[in-house]
Amino acid sequence: MNNNFIVIEGNIGAGKTTLAKKFANEYNAQFIPEDFAENPFLPKFYKNPEKYSFPLELSFLADRFHQLNKEIRNRDLFKSFVISDYYFTKSLIFARNTLSEDEYSLYRRIFDIIYTSLPKPDLYVYLYLDIHNLMKNIKKRGRNYERDIKPEYLDKIQKGYFEYMKQHREKYKFLVIDTNKINFVKNITDYDKIKDVILNKEYKTGINRIII
């Protein structure tokens, strides 16, 4: 494998953190998990998006930049590679779907200033689940602050990711994996399949699609 920095992305409930953590444990990789549990705006946002969307997105922007910049630039040399369950561009995708036009314009200016200084991933993986399965996973894990998430919101986020990939397909290697028919958490065979397509295959710049 020639990828030193891999990003595992996906919609809310897609299983990105679980998969990234499994890879990190198995291959002695440096794992960068998104640290959002302590964000005081998140529960408020799900109940009142219009009021709390801007402070929420700004706080995520600052936290993600600080974490990624620190972890990637101070890489543990005893680890085989770096794997994260999110990337900085996630901030832009979510903000585009939650902020007003004026707020997003200001937010984008701030984003563009700091984005250029971050290292870019060698492979950007997107775990695709349809909205029905995402809602099932969200309900199953039972996080209180996710109870008010609507299917319409998940659909907007999903479309935002695809739009982002289309706009940047000439710059990065995107790997979109349809995981609707597998369970890589409970089924070792399914896990081996998804591990193989992510870690043992080479991909060209652009959007690469696989159904497992």
From the candidates 63, 76, 85, 196, give the one annotated as an active-site residue.
Answer: 85
Phi, psi of 74 (to 5 degrees): -110, 55
Q: In b/e form, how buried is each residue of 69-107, taking b as 16+ CB within 10 angstroms?
A: eebbeeeeeeeebbbbbbbbbbbbbbbbbbbeeeebeeb
- For the chain, give the longest Cα–Cα distance: 48
For 50, how many CA atoms within 13 A lie in the half-sphere containing its CB?
A: 0
Instruction: Give the C-alpha separation, 178 to 210, whole Å.
Output: 6
Task: Locate all alpha helices (DSSP H) within 28-168, ordered by sequence.
Answer: 42-47, 49-73, 90-98, 101-115, 131-141, 151-167
Is 102 in the active site?
no
Strand 30-32: give its sheet, edge to edge: 30-32, 82-84, 5-10, 123-128, 173-178, 206-211
Do residues 173 and 208 make contact, with C-beta atoms less than 8 angstroms apart? yes
Residues annotated catalytic, as ranges: 85
